[in-house]
Amino acid sequence: MFFLLYFDSSKDLFTKIMSKDFVIIYTDGACSPNPGIGGWGAVLISKEHNLRTELSGSEVDSTNNRMEMTAAIKALEALKKSCIVKLYTDSSYLKDAFEKNWLNYWQNNGWKSKARKPVANKDLWLRLLEVSKKHEVSWHWVKGHSGNPENDRCDELAVQARKKFAKSN
């Protein structure tokens, strides 16, 4: 392990970097039918503070992709200060938008896809971009329904939220 230090005129730069908490987030979305009633779930873990938080919610008219994105938004919004975040999702759509620079392409292209069609879920992409700026987020894909306990828990939370909403309406 090594540390790279560099000089910055801001004397608090090192303190700012070292004072950020590290948080692991798992997220998932569910929609049935798709489109239809959707649910989302998130698990936030801070090992240094020995904290684990579970979040979930639902929407009446949604899609699976919207619920995947909402889970990430809600999880990042729940962080009370700027953090270093390792975010796990089983949505390659969500991860690739950040990791493969699709978002930069869409923004530079007037929020149009390569096929020159409007990008779906622009409202949520804008919210994700905004909330992501507050943190240092790295995006990671995890195979869904494959025995990863945290991803499986997020799926349970999302499905429970969706079913609870459907039952109450």
One of 38, 57, 59, 90 is an active-site residue; which one? Answer: 90
- Asked if residues 63 and 113 have their Cβ atoms less than 8 Å apart, the reply is no
One of 12, 28, 96, 99 is an active-site residue; which one? Answer: 28
Quote the tokens at residue 137: 């987020």
Is 28 part of the annotated catalytic residue set? Answer: yes
One of 38, 41, 57, 155 is an active-site residue; which one? Answer: 155
Is 61 part of the annotated catalytic residue set? Answer: no
One of 29, 38, 39, 57 is an active-site residue; which one? Answer: 29
One of 8, 77, 123, 145 is an active-site residue; which one? Answer: 145
One of 41, 57, 68, 150 is an active-site residue; which one? Answer: 68
- According to DSSP H, which parts of the chain are helical? 13-18, 64-78, 92-99, 102-108, 122-132, 149-168
Is 147 part of the annotated catalytic residue set? Answer: no
Is 135 part of the annotated catalytic residue set? Answer: no
Is 96 part of the annotated catalytic residue set? Answer: no
Is 29 part of the annotated catalytic residue set? Answer: yes
**Catalytic residue IDs:** 28-29, 68, 90, 145, 155
